[in-house]
Amino acid sequence: MSAFMRKVYNGFDTGGDIEPAAWREALRLMNEATVDGLSRSDVPPTHEEEFYRELKHSNEVFAAFKVHSMGEKMAAKLTTPDGKLKPFRQWAEDVRGISSHYVGSWLRTEYDTAVLRAHAAADWRRFERDKDIMPNLRWMPTTSPEPESTHRLYWQKKLTLPVDLPFWEKHHPGDRWNCKCMLEQTDEPANPGVLEDVEDIKPQRGLENNPGKDGHTFNDTHPYFPAKCSQCFAYKKSGFKNRMKNLFANKAKECYNCCLIDNAMKEAADNVKISKDVPPHNCGTTTIKGIKTTILLVGTTIKGKNYSIEESLLSFFFSSSSSMAIW
């Protein structure tokens, strides 16, 4: 963290660039959480390369906006009211609250929630596969030792609904930070009448999506993300021609499918020579370069080694083994 702060203090362009080392570390943690969560599923998906690519790319984008947001907020405190650069020690003290949130409590919550949502996403893929045999899902009690009341009526009333019901688009375990509820697939009858007795609960910001459906660990409504394209650092940096092209196209914001943010990440990856760790995306295509394209299956043996599901996932999300580290 000290290296990142020193770089910001020395003039790194936080308004237009992604700081490569901090981004890589944030990405590593998100990928580690994703692997942990996927591995916890009773039947982790093993033939879902595109799904894994989507999760990995969503982690890349989320980490990029997180680091950019942190850098911008720190850079905004560099000068005194009369425009003079603060001494480093004074500035470091002034941004202590920012760093303690971004790489402390917020990061811990993001990591834990990413684990839970990756687990739920893997389960959802199984629900989709098995819905012809067990067509319904039941909301199960939370495993949290200190459960909040938000989802209580769902599991107290044993809410059971068809897998394909639109309800699951906007309501699902993991739509609250650190939510530890789960779904259970069943062939027992649905009870949609329960919905008449419970309040329509809106997901918390950044958790509106179902990651098992779209492959996004977090939604691009998260506060780290810009509200619209014109507020995005990658858009501002893209040049007049690209900005005008985007303006006249009148496209809705698609942060997870944007060649501008992909190019910004590629530039950051090139700067720290981590193309294997963080494969760049090409504008206009979903092909990811520099990544292992085949998921090793459970029980696969290569050069005498039998790979577990977690090792197989690690081989996809990382080019080398990693462990959780503190900034």
Residue-wise pLDDT for 78-94, tens only, equals 999 999 999 999 999 99
Evaluate if residue 126 carries a pLDDT over 80: yes
CB environment 267-293: b (16+ within 10 A), e (fewer): ebbeeeebeebbbbbeeeeeebeebee
- Cα angle 62, 7, 90 (rounded to 5 degrees) comes to 110
Sheet of 136-140: strands edge to edge? 160-162, 136-140, 182-186
Residue 202 lies in a domain: yes
What mean pLDDT do residues 231-236 have? 89
Residue 324 lies in a domain: no
Evaluate if residue 45 carries a pLDDT over 90: no
Residue 284 has what pLDDT?
Answer: 35
pLDDT tens, position by position, 306-317: 445 566 677 677
Evaluate if residue 279 carries a pLDDT over 70: no
Residue 283 has what pLDDT?
Answer: 37
Residue 326 lies in a domain: no
Residue 91 lies in a domain: yes
Give the residue, 200 or 233, on which the prediction is more confident.
233
Q: pLDDT band at 138, cuts 50/70/90?
A: very high
HSE-up (13 A, CA, CB side) for residue 286 = 12
What mean pLDDT do residues 224-240 have? 85
DSSP state of 294: S
**CA–CA separation, 248 and 121 (whole Å):** 36
Position 146, amino acid? E
What is the number of domains present in the chain?
1
Q: pLDDT band at 250, cuts 50/70/90?
A: low
Sequence-separated (6 or more) residues with CB below 8 Å from residue 71: 4, 8, 12, 14, 19, 22
Residue range of the domain that includes 171 = 2-317
Residue 236 lies in a domain: yes
Q: Tokens 């959802």, residue?
A: 124
Residue 327 lies in a domain: no
Evaluate if residue 292 carries a pLDDT over 70: no
pLDDT tens, position by position, 151-173: 988 999 999 999 999 999 889 99
Q: pLDDT band at 147, cuts 50/70/90?
A: confident
What mean pLDDT do residues 92-101 have? 96
Residue 55's closest CA among 79, 28, 31, 91? 31
Q: pLDDT band at 280, cuts 50/70/90?
A: very low
Are 62 and 222 spatial neighbours (Cβ–Cβ below 8 Å)?
yes
Evaluate if residue 8 carries a pLDDT over 90: yes
Give the residue, 309 or 222, on which the prediction is more confident.
222
Residue 325 lies in a domain: no
Q: Which two tokens stand for residue 13?
A: 């362009």
Q: pLDDT band at 43, cuts 50/70/90?
A: confident
**For residue 184, what are the β-bridge partners?**
138
DSSP 127-170: HHHHTTTS-EEEEEPP--SS--STTHHHHHTT-EEETT-THHHH
DSSP 84-108: PBPPHHHHHHHTHHHHHIIIIIHHH
Say what the pTM is: 0.84
CA 216 and chain centroid, separation: 6
Residue 322 lies in a domain: no
Q: Which two tokens stand for residue 132?
A: 């012809």
- 72-86, 108-122, 187-201, 264-278, range with the lowest pLDDT: 264-278
HSE-up (13 A, CA, CB side) for residue 277 = 23
Residue 177 has what pLDDT?
Answer: 95
Give the residue, 24 or 281, on which the prediction is more confident.
24
